[in-house]
Amino acid sequence: MSTTTYTVAGMTCGHCVSSVKEEVGQVSGVSAVDVDLQTGTVTVTSDGPLDDADIKAAVEEAGYQVKA
């Protein structure tokens, strides 16, 4: 099992959290997504390694940006 944390810019409410969780949760291999609105962090748990580009694309699809 692998866990990676990303910092996401632009989330301001519960709807933002839901959007990010939904999009990232659809990435192949993702088993869990935890979003902390206060810190802007998104913790992704997967069965194996994930491509960061896939996670970033999912966050962008939700309307937000992953901070470098």
The pLDDT, as a whole number, for residue 68 is 73
In this structure, are residues 27 and 49 in contact, taking their beta carbons and an 8 Å threshold? no
Token pair for 37: 């609105």
- As a whole number, mean pLDDT of residues 31-56 equals 96
Cα–Cα distance for residue pair 18/53, rounded to 1 Å: 20
- The rounded distance, in Å, linking the Cα atoms of 32 and 13 is 20
Q: Indicate the number of domains in the chain.
A: 1
Q: What is the mean pLDDT of residues 32-53?
A: 96
pLDDT of residue 32: 98
Q: Determine if the pTM surpasses 0.85.
A: yes
Please give the Cα distance from 25 to 30 (Å, whole number): 6
- Here the CATH number for the domain that contains residue 44 is 3.30.70.100
Q: What is the pLDDT of residue 15?
A: 97
- Structural domain containing residue 51: 2-66
